[in-house]
Amino acid sequence: MRSVRRVFPGPVLAIDGVDLNIAPGEFVAILGPSGCGKSTLLRIIAGLDKADAGSIQAGPAAAEHRHIGYVFQDASLLPWRNALRNVALPLELRGVPRAERLAAAAEAIQRVELADAITRYPAELSGGMRMRVSLARALVTHPTLLLLDEPFAALDEITRQQLDQQLHQLWYERRMTVVFVTHSIIEATFLAQRAVVLTRRPARVILHHQLDLPERRTAGLRTDNQFSRQMRILFEALERGDGKLT
């Protein structure tokens, strides 16, 4: 992304001159205060919104083979479909035969450790379970680029940490490119290889920080002194950008 700018009617300048490089297989967290333009930036990366200025370009290999998975803040499941059929939906829309798509959906549900709830409907699932289904639905197409917009923000802390651990494991095994929007400094530090901190609207990049932590993350890392030092770097960047932590 080069000098990306987005203006909404009003006019409201949401994003102003953002430069961002993301390498294949990299896990990048985007942090910033509420309303600063993080979700807008993610939608532009996904092609769901268009920049008013600047350019977005994928490398030749990425452009040819890019498959995008998107996990929204809300699980957005179809209430009349059980977990299996919700996860199979992207493959159904692609015309994948029934037996093949259901087998792939069952495998994706297994990967997010939800096999015992495969026939349940969304109303029968907890918030954390619904987000697992949403994550499985994004993974079922084997995306090379996975975009997540604060997917665990509404969950309790224990469930959130469990899902963070699970997402890290999936990334570690599959090595897809991940861009993860979050308000949480702890979450960004635990998950990402690199953190990008945005200022208050209009969003500008105030920090690109390569997290000095082991590639393999475990629950115990959160109590490590180095983990605290990395969190402090992100916290200070948010303060410099006049960030309001929520």
Instruction: Name the residue ranges covered by the structural domains of the chain.
Output: 1-66+145-246, 78-143
Per-residue pLDDT at 245 = 43
Residue 226 near residue 212 (C-beta atoms within 8 A): yes
Residue 67 is predicted with a pLDDT of: 83
pLDDT value for 109: 94
pLDDT score recorded for residue 120: 95
**Which parts of the chain sit beneath pLDDT 50?**
64, 243-246
What is the rounded distance in angstroms from the CA atom of residue 234 to the CA atom of residue 156?
23
1-66+145-246 has which fold? Rossmann fold (3.40.50)
pTM of the model: 0.90
